A = this chain, B = another copy of it.
Amino acid sequence: MRKVFQAELQQVGDDLVEIANLVQVALRRAASSLLEADVQEAEEVISNDARIDMLQNHLDERSIDLLALQGPVASDLRMIVGALRMSASLERMGDLARHVAQVTRLRFPEPAVPSDLEGTLREMIELDETIIAAVINLLETRELHYADAVYTAKARINELHQSVFSKVTTAEWSSEAQTTIDVTLLSRYLERFGDHGVSVARKVTYLVTGEWDGSPTTTPPA
């Protein structure tokens, strides 16, 4: 019985990694669709998001069955409750990648990103890619230096998120309102993606150490 339980618990961990891998692919493809104004790539990100949602539901059902049938305690219990929480964060990261793809689709055939903000948004995307890669490594190895990589990347994203608003409100900014809306939302989606990565990193850290660390919390809005 104990052996079956450990195998089931391992499966919950594997499911989390699988979802995180799909989120990584979704982000990469959403970014590519955005920067290349590639509507077909955007469509695929949008339709593939259903698979992330389905996997999250499976993981949740598995977790609830484990709680019901095994009555786990102590660290096993916290791991299962933590998995329920982390799956929700990862699912939301998938949604945010989908939202980026939806902006691409709405503006097609025009690019959604104006050339003077392309560098900033590209750097935010790269930092989100660093974050999801570190989250996957953290889930697989539980080595906490990967959590530090997440927090460092998020701190830089926060700076860039603020810089987008600074740029848009300078006298030189002459793009139309639609572009202002698009970059405001894109910057927010990319900031939120990173923030959910921080949530997952904090949860794994808590599971490993039993203590909440002093990692950065949610950014205030611009």
Contacts and interface: CB of A to CB of B under 8 A. Distances in A.
Number of copies of this chain that the complex holds: 2
**Chain A interface mostly:** helix
Interface stretch (A1-9, A26-34, A178-186): A178-186
B68 A73 contact: yes
A67 B81 contact: yes
B181 A177 contact: no
Interface stretch (A15-23, A95-103, A114-122, A150-158): A95-103
Interface string A35-78: 00000000000000000000000000000100110010110011
Interface stretch (A124-132, A139-147, A168-176): A168-176
A176 B165 CA distance: 12
A176 B185 contact: no
A11 interface: no
A188 to B, nearest CB: 7
Contacts of A165: 181
A111 to B, nearest CB: 17
B180 A173 contact: no
A64 B85 contact: no
B67 A77 contact: yes
**Residue of A68, A95, A165, A168 ringed by the most chain B CB atoms within 10 A:** A68
